[in-house]
Structure 1
Amino acid sequence: MLKQPSTKYRAFKPVNLPDRQWPSRSITQAPLWMSTDLRDGNQSLFEPMNSVQKLKLFKELCGIGFKEIEVGFPSASQTDFNFVRQLITEGHIPSDVSIEVLTQAREHLIRQTIESLHGARRAIVHVYNATSPQFRNLVFDMSKAEVLAMAVSAVRLVKALTAQQPETEWTLQYSPETFSMTELDFALEICNAVTDAWEATPDHKIILNLPATVEAATANIYADQIEWTHRHLAKRDSIILSVHPHNDRGTAVAATELALMAGADRVEGCLFGHGERTGNVDLVTLALNLYTQGIDPQLDFSNINRVARLVEECTQLPIHPRHPYVGDLVFTAFSGSHQDAIKKGFAAQKPDALWNVPYLPLDPADVGRSYDSVIRVNSQSGKGGIAYLMENAHGIVMPRRLQIEFAAVVQQQMDASGLELSSDDLWHIFNQHYLARQTLFTYQEHHLFEHGNAQGIRVLVNIHDQPQWLRGEGNGPIDAFIQALAQIGIEVTVHSYEERSMSSSASAGNAKACAFVELAHAGQSTTTYGVGIDENIITASLKAIISSLNRLGDAVVSHYRQAA
């Protein structure tokens, strides 16, 4: 039994705001967005990203449309310091993007932080110190006056140091860490003091960031705290009011939306809600929530699969299959009644009409998702039963997205025949669609070689029954083969790759390895799986790529003929 909560926990006191305005307001435009994936998100990973991964994710964030990106904590680690320098010296920062860096309100850390930003075109210096009674009394043993003095002193130092580098467009951001657990009058006093110290004006604003560092109350209380502060700030016209909600209570998205109604201008968070403990607020969900209400979020998630796979690659964190808008299963119905309603909705939906399909709050096509898994919906036991039989009878452990894709193929066969399919029937369909289809390519042999730091490969394939040697180099055999294909006009990108061992009793005879490759043709968001089986895992991987090429079909043939 849980302990009686009344003897252990204190209820959070509501804000005295009887004339609150936010409940009657609506969000009518996108906020200013700030991604902290490379800082707050990164510091929460089992293995923090290396510079290659961070640069890849930084470029993706810029491509999505973020204009403010927190790129690190340069005074906390040499790795972060070096990454900030790399972004600046190698010219990776678009002219309309401001990089942001975090520092505690301590002199030597602030000096090192400003040093890391030398030569930047536009930079945001984010200074913070904790302000709540819990931290004042338990962690730092500081009075309110000492906490306030620390914040003001830090801001004055930033102002003096940045004045020495006029070639950079500087913005100050101040966060009273643990704002949502700080007495409102004290948080206001500090915010007004640092605003004065920065000498903020309507033309040279300060960012005041009010974090729910640990989410400790219901979303409406956070909204009250934001509205109270918004209404009482001394120089509101000289302030960009920002929020940084965490998700400890599971309501970060709701808290953020209510905070925007309450007067916030700006939101900090991470793609897919990454971050410490239960994470930061999920910027993808927030943005697409706006989109489904007819508001342009000013962020481009039209190819959400690519974004999701890249973030998974860089962070090594999986995205839940039921994640809003993004999960592999969110547009797939297993219930028969859901299937019927969705099919009828699609039949009634007109191209120029408002979206009105049951169970689908968002048109999958708007985020680059295929209709296949929606239209070819499975019965409640369909996908799970297919995956179970393929694994237990044939040793094929399919990735989740391949399960969805293959289930649609099986469903089509079932619709045509009206008969129950056995495990052997499933294997026959799988072999026909993924292993035996050789409309364009067939694999013959390959040879690997080393070329400096690169991995080289020579592959003999039959193209329309004509033998041809392909040669390429890359960071591994798969990448080398992709580069070899590009030389004959076939440009594809690998969205995911997995390899699994197979039992010796599998239908593939003595095969020991099965490779799964998910490819997309250049310029296309739709992906297609290929499967390869062989005793040698590299050979299986090459066969999987060829399988996917054959399944991509006409697009590959067209590009190959044009190149030829």
Structure 2
Amino acid sequence: MANVTQHDNKSVAQQMAESGSFDYRKYKSYAPLSLKDRTWPDKQLTKAPIWCSVDLRDGNQALVKPMSVEQKVRLFNLLVKLGFKQIEIGFPSAAQPEYDFARKLIDDNLIPDDVTIQVLTQAREHLIAKTYEALRGVKRAIVHVYNSTSTVQREQTFGMNKEEIAAIAVQGAKWVKEYAAQNPDTDWQFQYSPESFTGTEVDYAIDVCNQVIDEWDPQNTKPVIINLPATVEMSTPNVFADQIEYMCRGLHQREHVIVSLHTHNDRGCGVAATELGLMAGADRVEGALLGNGERTGNMDTVTLAMNLYSQGIDPELDFSNVQEMIDICTEVTDLPVHPRHPWVGELVYTAFSGSHQDAIRKSLEFHNKKGLEHWEVAYLPINPADLGRDYEAVVRINSQSGKGGVAHVLERDYGIELPKWMHLHVSKVVQKVAEQTGSELRGKEIKAIFDEHFVAIPDGWNLRGYDLSTQDSQTLATFRIEAAEPLELQGKGQGALEALADALSQHYGVTMKVTQFDEHALRQGTDADAIASVCITVDGVESVASSINEDTTTANLQALLSAVGRAALTVGFLHKETTEA
């Protein structure tokens, strides 16, 4: 692309167009439908649509390496397990593997009684005849016939006028009905798609669809499906919604017609267009898991279903074990799932940002303490557990993480609830390691850092024993401490901790003060371990340490000793040690 410098008040795009490097003027702008009395903006989704999976047809035909029959069976079983009641299994008249798959499902009795398979066929008699042959013996099926109606296809692909294209649709509808009559033991339902609906004049689309509806006459049989595909997404979702509302108003026998949507994602708005289309009056949705499909993909049924779920609407599809779905889909399609894929990507519930981690931790604590009926947690639109995800993935630590995130990981994975004043001390050390390694730190790595820098006992500072007594409301104590030569020190104070600080101050000739202290049990029960954390100053130098022990007093005293031992390395007060104990 040519380098362009903005000048003469011309936009960069204008300059690029004039230079020939990029000419936006060659693309047609699609004028919106002028629907002045639209009602869909005031509508709200309150229930799930009728779902139809097209993973095995539209999704399969978009693969570099189409699925084998065995892979299709595996995906079919997954779709059934997820709750799809209508599944388009392929185009059996187009290729032998498609035909074989249809026969396998029927001959091996793999279709549950409450599931209806759907097959696609062009409006050509020999293809329709082959389609019914492939479906011989099926209990129920939807036969989906289509032909393209768009201006571009009429003029450039087929060289036909509107009447000729409409005649193809009507003749296809007749053949579909005639061949169904020859197979009366099957419960048939008919579906018609004006392919490239979004590139078709809407009044003409209504005319063609009505001619098909009149041919099938659903008021005297059973409801028919009129599928309106955004075969190529050409406009904003609101324009698509206007088209759908206009169609719903104009279709014959509307109460006997199921209006279906089949959107693609060329503009990245496939889900949004479908949602607005449902508000505009559509009843049914065709889509594919994780958006697999031609070009940028089909409408993503997972995203739409989870959008409904997040608004308190039963999607009537079960994604509680989303990892199983991902594993099967990636195996049969050989397509990865983006880590930021809406709702189900590996990282979508993960917070690296320190402020996000802190908010999540506090919000989860609030949620648990209050026992809230509805899920309301910062940065988490739904509970990850509903999708089978654990909380280990919610907060992950790298150099961007903050003190709240590190504390959350230690509490979540190891039951170590750090006092708030200690969060910053620990996170600084963890962040430094993350910066040095340039990588994410997992829970076990964070625990190892915490143990090394805060729990590990410095050489020569191990508490070997103590004796306590009370005199005049004060604690008198004797402490036995491991050192180059074992030390036995005496001190007094308001408690054991203050008595130890007094003993050490006297022995080493330093000013020592306990500024922060915390203790709590790691596990519930009479044999629960206790963790104690202490922050001290020694001659003005701050030092922090923790200790874990079955005995609470021992944990407190060892935490203080460890903090003093770490301070000794900084202050260098060991040379002040007196010759007398």
**What TM-score results when the alignment is normalised by the length of structure 2?**
0.67
Which structure: larger Rg? Answer: 2
SS at match of 2:442: helix
Q: Deviations over 1:386-439 (max 9, x none)?
A: 79959xxxxxxxxxxxx98x72322333345458xxxxxxxxxxxxxxxxxxxx
Q: Post-superposition shift, 1:120?
A: 0.5
What residue number does 2:230 align with?
212
SS at match of 1:87: helix
What amino acid maps onto 1:111 in structure 2? A
What residue number does 1:425 align with?
none
Task: Quote the Cα distance in structure 2 between the aligned partners of 1:235 and 1:257.
Answer: 24
- The alignment-based identity, stated in percent, is 52
Task: Quote the Cα distance in structure 2 between the aligned partners of 1:388 and 1:326.
Answer: 31
What residue number does 1:133 align with?
151
What pairs up with 1:367-516 in 2 under 5 angstroms?
367-380=387-400, 407-418=442-453
1:362 alignment partner, one of 352, 368, 382:
382
Say if 2:312 is the partner of 1:300.
no
1:28 alignment partner, one of 38, 46, 50:
46
Q: Post-superposition shift, 1:310?
A: 0.9
What amino acid maps onto 2:118 in structure 1? E
What residue number does 1:289 align with?
307
What residue number does 2:202 align with?
184
Q: Post-superposition shift, 1:164?
A: 1.2
Say if 2:180 is the partner of 1:162.
yes
Say if 2:345 is the partner of 1:310.
no
Q: Deviations over 1:278-329 (max 9, x none)?
A: 0000000000000000000000000111111110011100000000111111
Q: Deviations over 1:442-480 (max 9, x none)?
A: xxxxxxxxxxxxxxxxxxxxxxxxxxxxxxxxxxxxxxx
What residue number does 2:80 align with?
62
Q: Post-superposition shift, 1:376?
A: 5.0
SS at match of 2:194: strand
CA, structure 1 residues 7+374, in 2 after alignment: closer, same or farther (shift >3 Å)?
closer
Q: Deviations over 1:347-366 (max 9, x none)?
A: 11144421111111110000
Q: Post-superposition shift, 1:165?
A: 1.0
What amino acid maps onto 1:127 in structure 2? V
What residue number does 1:10 align with?
28
Q: Post-superposition shift, 1:227?
A: 0.5
Decide whether the 8 Å contact of 1:124 with 1:171 is kept in 2: yes
Task: Quote the Cα distance in structure 2 between the aligned partners of 1:116 and 1:205.
Answer: 23
1:40 alignment partner, one of 58, 61, 65:
58
Task: Quote the Cα distance in structure 1 between the aligned partners of 2:216 and 2:65.
Answer: 37
Decide whether the 8 Å contact of 1:383 with 1:407 is kept in 2: no
Q: Post-superposition shift, 1:5?
A: 4.8
What residue number does 1:483 align with?
none
What amino acid maps onto 1:223 in structure 2? A
SS at match of 2:218: coil
Q: Deviations over 1:117-157 (max 9, x none)?
A: 01001101010100011000000111111111111101111
SS at match of 2:446: helix
Task: Quote the Cα distance in structure 1 between the aligned partners of 2:398 and 2:305.
Answer: 30
Task: Quote the Cα distance in structure 1 between the aligned partners of 2:243 and 2:35.
Answer: 9
Task: Quote the Cα distance in structure 2 between the aligned partners of 1:385 and 1:75.
Answer: 61
CA, structure 1 residues 203+416, in 2 after alignment: closer, same or farther (shift >3 Å)?
farther
Task: Quote the Cα distance in structure 2 between the aligned partners of 1:346 and 1:376.
Answer: 16
What residue number does 1:532 align with?
none
Task: Quote the Cα distance in structure 2 between the aligned partners of 1:268 and 1:387.
Answer: 47
SS at match of 2:98: helix
What pairs up with 1:155-304 in 2 under 5 angstroms?
155-201=173-219, 204-304=222-322
Task: Quote the Cα distance in structure 1 between the aligned partners of 2:101 and 2:161.
Answer: 36
What pairs up with 1:330-341 in 2 under 5 angstroms?
330-341=348-359
What are the ranges of 5 or more consecutive residues in structure 2 without an aligned counterpart? 2-15, 402-429, 455-581
What pairs up with 1:67-106 in 2 under 5 angstroms?
67-106=85-124
Say if 2:339 is the partner of 1:321.
yes
Say if 2:107 is the partner of 1:107.
no
What amino acid maps onto 2:77 in structure 1? K
Q: Post-superposition shift, 1:231?
A: 1.1
Decide whether the 8 Å contact of 2:121 with 2:144 is kept in 1: yes
What residue number does 1:496 align with?
none
What amino acid maps onto 1:357 in structure 2? V
SS at match of 1:349: helix
Aligned pairs, how many? 407
CA, structure 1 residues 353+153, in 2 after alignment: closer, same or farther (shift >3 Å)?
same
Decide whether the 8 Å contact of 1:335 with 1:379 is kept in 2: no
SS at match of 1:201: helix
What pairs up with 1:523-534 in 2 under 5 angstroms?
none
Task: Quote the Cα distance in structure 2 between the aligned partners of 1:387 and 1:329.
Answer: 21
Task: Quote the Cα distance in structure 2 between the aligned partners of 1:29 and 1:383.
Answer: 46
Task: Quote the Cα distance in structure 2 between the aligned partners of 1:388 and 1:155.
Answer: 69
What amino acid maps onto 2:219 in structure 1? T
CA, structure 1 residues 85+387, in 2 after alignment: closer, same or farther (shift >3 Å)?
farther
What amino acid maps onto 1:106 in structure 2? R
CA, structure 1 residues 383+233, in 2 after alignment: closer, same or farther (shift >3 Å)?
farther
What amino acid maps onto 1:114 in structure 2? Y
SS at match of 2:177: helix
Superposed CA RMSD: 2.2
What are the ranges of 5 or more consecutive residues in structure 1 without an aligned counterpart? 391-402, 420-564
SS at match of 1:156: helix
**What TM-score results when the alignment is normalised by the length of structure 1?**
0.69
Decide whether the 8 Å contact of 1:270 with 1:281 is kept in 2: yes
Task: Quote the Cα distance in structure 1 between the aligned partners of 2:221 and 2:311.
Answer: 32
Q: Post-superposition shift, 1:345?
A: 1.0
What residue number does 2:463 align with?
none
Task: Quote the Cα distance in structure 2 between the aligned partners of 1:383 and 1:200.
Answer: 67
Decide whether the 8 Å contact of 2:214 with 2:252 is kept in 1: no
SS at match of 1:278: coil
What amino acid maps onto 1:355 in structure 2? W
CA, structure 1 residues 256+418, in 2 after alignment: closer, same or farther (shift >3 Å)?
farther
Decide whether the 8 Å contact of 1:176 with 1:210 is kept in 2: yes
Task: Quote the Cα distance in structure 1 between the aligned partners of 2:109 and 2:129.
Answer: 23
Decide whether the 8 Å contact of 2:399 with 2:432 is kept in 1: no
